[in-house]
Amino acid sequence: MEAPCNLVCHSAPALSEGEGRSKKSAVDVAKRYYVYILASRSLNLYTGVTNNLKRRVLEHKLGQVEGFTKKYRIERLVYFQEFARAREAIAHEKQIKAWRREKKLALIRAVNPGWVDLAENWYDGKEFRHADPSLRSG
């Protein structure tokens, strides 16, 4: 399977607030968009799109996203890809969602064979201080 050219894999450094931005004004800075896949311990998968990956993953980890991901505790980031345009990210999200499960699993294995949580070092723990401990992974 051919990996997308702008693929970000598990060796990528942790994202920080304002990552990748120059010291230009906010008007000059282009937004970034992300397609991401989360997995539960039992390998239930969820594919989503966001313009703030760090915030969105934290919302999933804290159980703040109602529905499928909260019900099945799908909170481990196993894949993400960055896009310069929202339209491209949304199109890729729809493409992945249309894939059969086997193809999604192959994509994840290609870039993250250990199924590690790519966001495991993004947070310092303060974010989880007031969260329900039953929602934490680990």
CATH architecture of the domain covering 31-127: 3-Layer(aba) Sandwich (3.40)
Q: Mind listing the pLDDT tens digit for each residue in 11-49? A: 333 444 444 444 554 444 568 999 999 999 999 999 999
Decide if pLDDT at 50 tops 50: yes
Q: What are the domain boundaries of the chain?
A: 31-127
Nearest to 112, CA basis, from 75, 83, 79, 74:
79
Residue 5, classified by CB atoms within 10 Å of its CB into exposed (0-12), middle (13-18) or buried (19+), is exposed
Q: What is the DSSP letter of 45?
A: E
